[in-house]
Amino acid sequence: MRLTRREWNALVVGGVIAAPLARLDAFPASQSSRIAGVRLGTQSYSFRDRPLDDVIAGIRTVGLGHCELWSGHVETKNTISTVEGMSRREAVRKWRLDPATIDYFKTIRGKFDGAGIALTSYDVPFNPDFTDEEFAAVFQAAAALGVKVVTSSAKVSVAPRVEPHAAKAGMRVGFHNHARIAPDEFATPDDFATAMKAGPHMAVTLDVGHFTEANFDPIAYLDEHHEHIVSMHIKDSKRDHGGLVPFGEGDAKIADVLRRLRDRKWDIPAHIEYEYRGTDTVEEMKRLYGYCRQVLEGA
């Protein structure tokens, strides 16, 4: 079974998926994966089968130096406890609003800094049930992580509520598309356009794989709207909702996308996202990273 990030988010918030953090060994101070000018990194969701410290170790092993941090690696059952009579959702909200939580995010930033991995953005699902205080708390957490971009799998209708909080924080929000075309879902260019009408801080996280699954052209969108794209998720897929596949086996024009970033010098983080059914996560990520390097280092 292949779960989307939104479905995983629901499981994490519900307390179904959790694991204790492993001890993080010392790493060298820096690690670069800027290839031919392109910032190659990963969405930590690629390592959703392990806890945060093991995610960092895995990213180091693969050789990547940039990461978009998925909230599912932060808001775990071991991090957020519930008390009798309190739902998991209530516990998550209370934890987000607790001023002491900011220290936890600073600790996470220290771990990535120590591993030589630059955090590019923080990925949080902005659900319609967020309070204004909760929106503000997410941007405070992002600031503690040292990022200027929040990415989000959300409903189109939340954008007007998010804009003032993003403006106050001086950050941009890149809404993430999926392949399901439906009212209030991010999937089409028009969905992005509607959200961006809410204000100048609303932007795009272009998922190349899902965009292709929904029969849209990522190259055409990149060419026309690159100034509004703050993050990219690099994965391959078949058109007509044909599913996600290893790089080079689908229709997503990954090589063309990477070369476009390189040749036009558009400094948009390109986050490799491992989401198809494979074998060992680290080995699959090495394979995907190798594919991207080969493309960028070639003609």
Task: Convert the pLDDT of each residue in 109-128 to its tens digit.
Answer: 999 999 999 999 999 999 99
**Domain layout of the chain by residue ranges:** 5-297
pTM of the model: 0.90
pLDDT at 11 over 80: no
Per-residue DSSP letters for 7-23? HHHHHHHTT-S--PPPP
pLDDT digits (tens, 9 = 90+) for 204-263: 999 999 999 999 999 999 999 999 999 999 999 999 999 999 999 999 999 999 999 999
Q: How far is CA 144 from CA 108, 147, 185, in A?
A: 9, 8, 29
**Token match 């070639």: residue?**
298
Contact between 220 and 211 (Cβ < 8 Å): no
Share of the chain above pLDDT 90, in %: 86
**Backbone conformation region of residue 198, classed left if phi is above 0, alpha if psi is from -120 to 50, else beta:** alpha
Give, as one character, the DSSP assignment of residue 166. Answer: H
Angle at 91 between CA 89 and CA 97, to 5 degrees: 105
Task: Give the pLDDT confidence score for residue 15 in this predicted structure.
Answer: 41
CA nearest neighbour of 117 among 57, 175, 36, 193: 57
Identify the bridge partners of residue 176 per DSSP, sorted by sequence position.
205
Cβ neighbours of residue 266 closer than 8 Å, sequence gap 6 or more:
222, 226, 260
How far lies 67's CA from each of 61, 214, 247, in Å? 14, 26, 19
pLDDT (tens digit, 9 = 90+) per residue, 170-196?
A: 999 999 999 999 999 999 999 999 999
Write down the pLDDT at residue 12: 45
Q: Give the max Cα distance, the chain.
A: 61
Query: At the top level of CATH, which class does the domain 5-297 belong to?
Result: alpha beta
